[in-house]
């Protein structure tokens, strides 16, 4: 990033100040377009799963800021490319999704975008096209003649992603080699349809985006631009968004709101400031104050981070509730009925359930074997009492005043078992 560049547009000012930018093809160009108003930009999203996860949040936030600063965000669904199966993963074993699956995934993912963006027909309203709309209609010969002739194989071979594979003698399939052509074509098509001038994405997308810019020039589009965000890792180097339990999903039906709140609450000290800037709307002054907190006080900043980030996705009320549940659970050790709850058949409980099985049923541990091991290392608690006998039975006698049994795995994971 050029050190001397001072943005005039709100859009770039915010992005630079908050740390969203890794690379940009032309700061002055993007700045001027944003300043002029109604800059349209897109980011491509996979729809291989029914929910996006935290790893996509930086991208979503960039679109959100674009809209808030007067631009038009275009989240593009990769329905067409999903249908082919993105080969850029290591394994080819990824199953191909049926059309119905893809449609269902799109609907589900759109619900998340609706939380961050305003959709509609206005000039700065977001639209969510699917590249299947044009990719599936492509005719191979036409595509080769109209688009393919603009691609220089010499150049494609010199791209980092390709060069690396060739140097290592790793297989590079033809479809994979073509993937960047399809993505480049998306950019041109989105310019045609929506006047889209900017493509954003993670830093790993740089090569593909620039290829799109090049194709645009050759196909008579005006100057297009690229802007990438840094690849996010935590301060200790782990990738964002994965925990032991799996990915940190954005859809509430795949990850309870309470767990989402906890994910942010457990942020490492060193990441708090960076995350506040990237994942909340809080004003910079406030963030600077929070990240300056030292020692144990930084926990206050983490709570605010958790509540703000959760509120944006799940709503203020849900976020406050999660925060309150956490406060009672951790700071008072009290039982709250708002912890995630798992139901169990009343008759089953009356007859007595082994503790190990109870923890498996609650989904806290994957197997009774694991539960057994955790008992040995003192990691399981029933109603806050350490489990010492792995043969113990849970019965109605264990129900607390609220009519539930509290199961805890480690210090942070709690589930309520409720007879039904």
Name beta bridge partners: 198.
41, 225
Count residues contacting RNA (CB under 7 A)? Answer: 44
| Contacts for 138 with CB less than 8 Å, ≥ 6 apart | none
Q: Which of 12, 14, 9 is nearest to 280 (CA)?
A: 14
Rule CB under 7 A: is residue 357 a binding residue for RNA? yes
Nearer to RNA, 48 or 267 (CB): 267
Q: Give the Cα separation of 108 and 112 in Å (integer).
A: 7
Taking CB under 7 A as the binding criterion, the range among 10-18, 54-62, 341-349, 372-380 that sits at the site for RNA is: 372-380
Out of 21, 97, 127, 298, the residue judged to bind RNA by CB under 7 A: 298
Nearer to RNA, 222 or 246 (CB): 246
The answer to whether 283 and 313 have CB atoms below 8 angstroms apart is no
Out of 33, 413, 415, 417, the residue judged to bind RNA by CB under 7 A: 413
- 24 vs 9, 19, 51, 59, 226, CA distance in Å? 15, 13, 28, 15, 6
As measured in angstroms, the least distance from the Cβ of 377 to RNA is 4
Q: Give the Cα separation of 409 and 358 in Å (integer).
A: 12
Rule CB under 7 A: is residue 169 a binding residue for RNA? yes
Out of 42, 249, 279, 409, the residue judged to bind RNA by CB under 7 A: 409
The answer to whether 196 and 225 have CB atoms below 8 angstroms apart is no
Query: Which residues, numbered 235-254, are part of the site for RNA (CB under 7 A)?
Result: 235-236, 238, 243-244
Out of 296, 332, 347, 389, the residue judged to bind RNA by CB under 7 A: 296
> Chain-centre distance of CA 223, in angstroms?
30
Q: Give the Cα separation of 60 and 40 in Å (integer).
A: 14
Out of 100, 141, 170, 347, the residue judged to bind RNA by CB under 7 A: 170
Q: Give the Cα separation of 250 and 57 in Å (integer).
A: 9
Contact characters 193-232, RNA, x per CB under 7 A: ----------------------------------------
Rule CB under 7 A: is residue 378 a binding residue for RNA? yes
Asked whether the CA dihedral 381, 385, 388, 389 is positive or negative, the reply is negative
As measured in angstroms, the least distance from the Cβ of 257 to RNA is 14
Rule CB under 7 A: is residue 333 a binding residue for RNA? no
Rule CB under 7 A: is residue 377 a binding residue for RNA? yes
Nearer to RNA, 110 or 372 (CB): 372
Rule CB under 7 A: is residue 403 a binding residue for RNA? no
Nearer to RNA, 180 or 364 (CB): 364
DSSP annotation string for 319-378: HHHHHHHHIIIIII----TTS-EEEE-HHHHHH-EEHHHHHHHTTSSSSHHHHHHHHHTT
Rule CB under 7 A: is residue 100 a binding residue for RNA? no
Q: Which of 135, 143, 122 is nearest to 67 (CA)?
A: 122
Nearer to RNA, 229 or 329 (CB): 329
H or E, element range at 298:
helix 298-314
Nearer to RNA, 122 or 333 (CB): 333
Rule CB under 7 A: is residue 327 a binding residue for RNA? yes
* Tokens 């708002």 sit on residue: 338
The binding site for RNA (CB under 7 A) comprises 169-171, 235-236, 238, 243-244, 262, 265-269, 295-296, 298-299, 302, 326-327, 329-331, 356-357, 360, 366-370, 372-374, 376-379, 409-413
């Amino acid at each position: 990033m050029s050190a001397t560049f001072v943005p005039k547009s709100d859009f770039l000012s915010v992005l630079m100040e908050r740390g969203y930018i890794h690379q940009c093809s032309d700061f002055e160009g993007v700045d001027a377009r944003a300043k002029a108003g109604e800059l349209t930009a897109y980011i491509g999203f996979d729809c291989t799963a029914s929910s996006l996860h935290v790893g996509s949040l930086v991208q979503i936030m960039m679109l959100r800021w674009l809209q808030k600063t007067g631009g038009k965000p275009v989240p593009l669904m990769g329905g067409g490319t999903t249908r082919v199966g993105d080969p850029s993963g290591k394994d080819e074993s990824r199953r191909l999704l049926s059309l119905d699956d893809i449609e269902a995934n799109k609907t589900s993912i759109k619900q998340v975008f609706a939380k961050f963006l305003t959709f509609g027909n206005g000039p700065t309203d977001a639209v969510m096209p699917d590249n299947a709309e044009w990719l599936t209609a492509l005719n191979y010969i036409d595509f080769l003649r109209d688009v393919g002739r603009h691609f220089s194989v010499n150049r494609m071979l010199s791209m980092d992603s390709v060069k690396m594979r060739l140097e290592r003698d790793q297989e590079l399939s033809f479809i994979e080699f073509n993937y960047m052509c399809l993505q480049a074509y998306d950019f041109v098509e989105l310019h045609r349809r929506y006047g889209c001038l900017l493509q954003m994405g993670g830093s790993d997308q740089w090569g593909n985006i620039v290829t799109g810019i090049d194709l645009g020039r050759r196909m008579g589009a005006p100057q297009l631009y690229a802007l990438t965000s840094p690849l996010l890792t935590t301060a200790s180097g782990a990738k964002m968004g994965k925990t032991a339990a799996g990915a940190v999903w954005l859809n509430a039906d795949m990850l309870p709101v309470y767990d989402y709140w906890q994910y942010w609450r457990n942020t490492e000290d060193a990441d708090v400031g960076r995350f506040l800037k990237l994942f909340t709307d809080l004003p910079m002054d406030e963030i600077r104050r929070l990240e300056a907190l030292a020692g144990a006080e930084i926990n206050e900043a983490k709570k605010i981070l958790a509540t703000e980030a959760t509120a944006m996705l799940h709503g203020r009320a849900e976020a406050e509730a999660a925060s309150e549940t956490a406060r009672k659970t951790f700071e008072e050790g009290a039982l709250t009925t708002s912890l995630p709850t798992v139901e169990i058949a009343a008759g089953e409980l009356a007859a007595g359930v082994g503790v190990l099985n109870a923890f498996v049923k609650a989904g806290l541990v994957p197997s009774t074997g694991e539960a057994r091991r955790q008992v040995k290392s003192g990691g399981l608690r029933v109603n806050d009492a350490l489990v010492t006998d792995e043969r113990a039975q849970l019965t109605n006698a264990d129900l607390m005043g609220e009519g539930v049994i509290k199961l805890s795995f480690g210090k942070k994971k709690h589930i309520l078992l409720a007879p039904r």
